[in-house]
């Protein structure tokens, strides 16, 4: 217990560097990332990550911080995107000329406007009622987008050209790397703003409403107003993310506001961990990597994502960030070393088991979908013939041995875990 208190004290009395260190690090990281990942597709993937980070963080303002489960958050993202793409076309037509850099603001504003409208009736209650309204609104807007072609462009969406605006410092955003820095700046600003929002009294009240809305009413706050404000702020940031999407892809279509995108943002936030501010960031990065990398190597990547999602909900409700955060007490007590060996001992068989299972799935999938006579397939660069017995034996061995060893290694892991997290002996005697 007192360790946590100490940690809190340390945070409170943090020096300038401690307080702004993470932000400087973030800024530095954003600046230097393209030097390490300089290929075209890497930059493009990072652009996508930046957009999704903002979107997922805005979603977590609802779910993680406000306790509102939304199944229609893509509405604000998509509407923000559509508005921005229209603005880019206005710029091209010389109707309303502003640098393309500030276009996401308009996306944010339309997100805010719709959040105000929808929030005025949907935030009256949390829980199932809120979730159902968000679902209904999501379906309504998504269907409308195919009917109202003038604004939404029907199935093919609306496209624009981002290079048509006045140049900012000689940059016309023709190249992706220029867009990367545009997104990075926006991401930095919005992440900071959303973080600050969570630290304001308003942000704290949102947490309180999430935890116990009745008590909030008793101490004189309106739970509805608190939820409404969170909801509007969330819509605003989702709209900004949509605006950045419009700039990056130069096209916005119905898929930006349909139920699938709403589901994806829930997935990202939850896999990352809704209980932490950085959770959705982790989730957005991991999900984008899965989506763009994994899908290049396996056709059944969605099956893996589904399994990952369901197992996260079942076994790690705090998400990936939660798994990392679990190690903080041990780290503070300088006991992570205790865990190293048990992790390796349990990790290797687990990897074998997972390799066996996914090898099984991949091979089955290949056998069923490949052309006749095409019996060779390659996994991780290893080529083999699916119609011989050998690969199946290897897979079976991997699963059985991996599974057995994983099971036998679990007790020692649990023991080591308990040891690493046991209270310090000195605690019993007071302060050290």
Site for another protein in 63-92 (CB under 8 A): 63, 67, 69, 71
State the chain's maximal CA–CA distance in angstroms. Answer: 75
Rule CB under 8 A: is residue 117 a binding residue for another protein? no
Considering the complex, what minimum distance in angstroms separates the CB of residue 427 from another protein? Answer: 28
Rule CB under 8 A: is residue 132 a binding residue for another protein? yes
Considering the complex, what minimum distance in angstroms separates the CB of residue 6 from another protein? Answer: 29
Sign of the C-alpha dihedral computed for residues 239, 241, 242 and 248 taken in this order: positive
Rule CB under 8 A: is residue 421 a binding residue for another protein? no
Of 147, 219, 389, 390, the one binding another protein by CB under 8 A: 147
Task: Return the range that interacts with another protein (CB under 8 A); candidates 134-142, 182-190, 387-395, 424-432.
Answer: 134-142
Radius of gyration in angstroms for the set of CA atoms belonging to the chain, rounded to a whole number:
25
Taking CB under 8 A as the criterion, which residues in 168-227 touch another protein?
174-176
Cβ–Cβ under 8 Å, residues 282 and 319: yes
Of 293, 393, 396, 397, the one binding another protein by CB under 8 A: 293
Rule CB under 8 A: is residue 95 a binding residue for another protein? no
Rule CB under 8 A: is residue 341 a binding residue for another protein? no
7 vs 129, which CB is nearer to another protein? Answer: 129
Rule CB under 8 A: is residue 125 a binding residue for another protein? yes
What is the phi/psi pair of residue 256, to 5°?
-70, -20
CA pair distance 230, 63, nearest whole angstrom: 10
46 vs 216, which CB is nearer to another protein? Answer: 46
Residue 298 has which token pair?
Answer: 């396996």
Task: Return the range that interacts with another protein (CB under 8 A); candidates 11-19, 122-130, 184-192, 213-221.
Answer: 122-130
CA pair distance 361, 375, nearest whole angstrom: 15
- Sorted by sequence, the CB contacts under 8 Å of residue 430 that are 6+ apart come out as none
DSSP 100: G
- Sorted by sequence, the CB contacts under 8 Å of residue 9 that are 6+ apart come out as none
196 vs 303, which CB is nearer to another protein? Answer: 303
Rule CB under 8 A: is residue 388 a binding residue for another protein? no
Residue 353 has which token pair?
Answer: 């088991």
Considering the complex, what minimum distance in angstroms separates the CB of residue 154 from another protein? Answer: 5
- Sorted by sequence, the CB contacts under 8 Å of residue 100 that are 6+ apart come out as 88, 91, 162, 163, 164, 165, 168, 173, 247
Rule CB under 8 A: is residue 314 a binding residue for another protein? yes
Size of residue set near another protein by CB under 8 A: 89
Task: Return the range that interacts with another protein (CB under 8 A); candidates 29-37, 211-219, 285-293, 411-419.
Answer: 285-293
Of 98, 294, 357, 405, the one binding another protein by CB under 8 A: 294
Of 100, 112, 133, 226, the one binding another protein by CB under 8 A: 133
Which residue stretches of 250-335 are H helix?
Answer: 259-272, 279-289, 295-297, 301-315, 319-325, 328-332
9 vs 175, which CB is nearer to another protein? Answer: 175
Rule CB under 8 A: is residue 150 a binding residue for another protein? yes
A 10 A CB-CB count for 296 gives: 9
Sign of the C-alpha dihedral computed for residues 378, 384, 385 and 388 taken in this order: negative
Rule CB under 8 A: is residue 116 a binding residue for another protein? no
Considering the complex, what minimum distance in angstroms separates the CB of residue 286 from another protein? Answer: 6
- For the chain, report the end-to-end CA distance as a whole number of angstroms: 14
Taking CB under 8 A as the criterion, which residues in 8-37 touch another protein?
none
Task: Return the range that interacts with another protein (CB under 8 A); candidates 15-23, 146-154, 384-392, 398-406.
Answer: 146-154
**Cα–Cα distance list, 231 to 22, 121, 123, 234, 294 (Å):** 27, 11, 8, 5, 34
Cβ–Cβ under 8 Å, residues 307 and 371: no
Of 166, 347, 411, 423, the one binding another protein by CB under 8 A: 347
CA pair distance 141, 150, nearest whole angstrom: 14
Of 306, 341, 412, 423, the one binding another protein by CB under 8 A: 306
DSSP 424: P
Which residue stretches of 93-165 are H helix?
Answer: 103-122, 127-147, 149-152
Rule CB under 8 A: is residue 336 a binding residue for another protein? no
Of 101, 354, 401, 422, the one binding another protein by CB under 8 A: 354
Which residue stretches of 200-278 are H helix?
Answer: 201-211, 213-218, 223-249, 259-272
13 vs 296, which CB is nearer to another protein? Answer: 296
Of 327, 335, 345, 365, the one binding another protein by CB under 8 A: 365
Task: Return the range that interacts with another protein (CB under 8 A); candidates 41-49, 212-220, 225-233, 384-392.
Answer: 41-49
Rule CB under 8 A: is residue 249 a binding residue for another protein? yes
């Amino acid at each position: 217990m007192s360790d946590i208190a100490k940690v809190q004290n340390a945070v409170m009395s943090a020096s300038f560097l401690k307080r702004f260190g993470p932000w400087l690090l973030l800024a530095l990281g954003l600046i230097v990332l393209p030097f390490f990942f300089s290929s075209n597709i890497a930059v493009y993937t990072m652009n996508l990550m930046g957009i999704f980070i903002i979107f997922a963080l805005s979603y977590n303002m609802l779910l993680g911080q406000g306790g509102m489960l939304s199944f229609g958050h893509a509405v604000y993202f998509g509407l923000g995107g559509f508005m921005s793409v229209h603005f880019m076309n206005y710029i091209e037509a010389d109707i309303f000329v502003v640098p393309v850099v500030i276009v996401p603001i308009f996306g944010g504003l339309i997100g805010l406007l719709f959040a105000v409208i929808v929030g005025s009736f949907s935030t009256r209650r949390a829980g199932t009622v809120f979730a159902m309204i968000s679902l209904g609104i999501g379906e309504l807007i998504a269907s409308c987008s195919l009917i109202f072609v003038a604004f939404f462009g029907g199935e093919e969406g609306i496209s624009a050209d981002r290079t048509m605006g006045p140049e900012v410092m000689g940059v016309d955003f023709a190249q992706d790397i220029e867009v990367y820095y545009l997104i990075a700046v926006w991401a930095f600003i919005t992440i900071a703003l959303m973080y600050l929002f969570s630290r304001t009294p308003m942000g704290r009240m949102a947490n309180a409403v999430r935890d116990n809305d009745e008590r909030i009413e008793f101490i004189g706050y309106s739970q509805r107003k608190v939820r409404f404000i969170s909801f509007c702020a969330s819509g605003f940031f989702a709209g900004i993310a949509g605006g950045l999407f419009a700039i990056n892809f130069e096209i916005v279509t119905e898929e930006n506001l349909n139920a699938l995108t709403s589901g994806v943002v829930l997935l990202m936030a939850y896999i990352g961990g809704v209980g932490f501010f950085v959770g959705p960031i982790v989730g957005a990065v991991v999900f984008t990597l899965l989506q763009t990398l994994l899908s290049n190597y396996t056709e059944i990547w969605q099956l893996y994502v589904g399994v990952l999602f369901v197992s996260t909900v079942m076994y790690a409700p705090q998400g990936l960030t939660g798994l990392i955060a679990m190690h903080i007490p041990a780290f503070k007590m300088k006991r992570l070393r205790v865990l190293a060996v048990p992790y390796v001992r349990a990790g290797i068989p687990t990897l074998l088991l997972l390799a066996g299972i996914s090898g099984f799935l991949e091979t089955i999938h290949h056998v069923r979908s490949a052309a006749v006579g095409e019996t060779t397939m390659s996994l991780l660069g290893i080529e083999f013939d699916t119609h011989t017995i050998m690969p199946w034996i290897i897979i079976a061995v991997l699963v059985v041995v991996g599974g057995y060893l994983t099971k036998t290694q679990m007790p020692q892991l649990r023991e080591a875990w308990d040891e690493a997290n046991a209270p310090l002996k000195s605690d019993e005697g007071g302060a050290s």
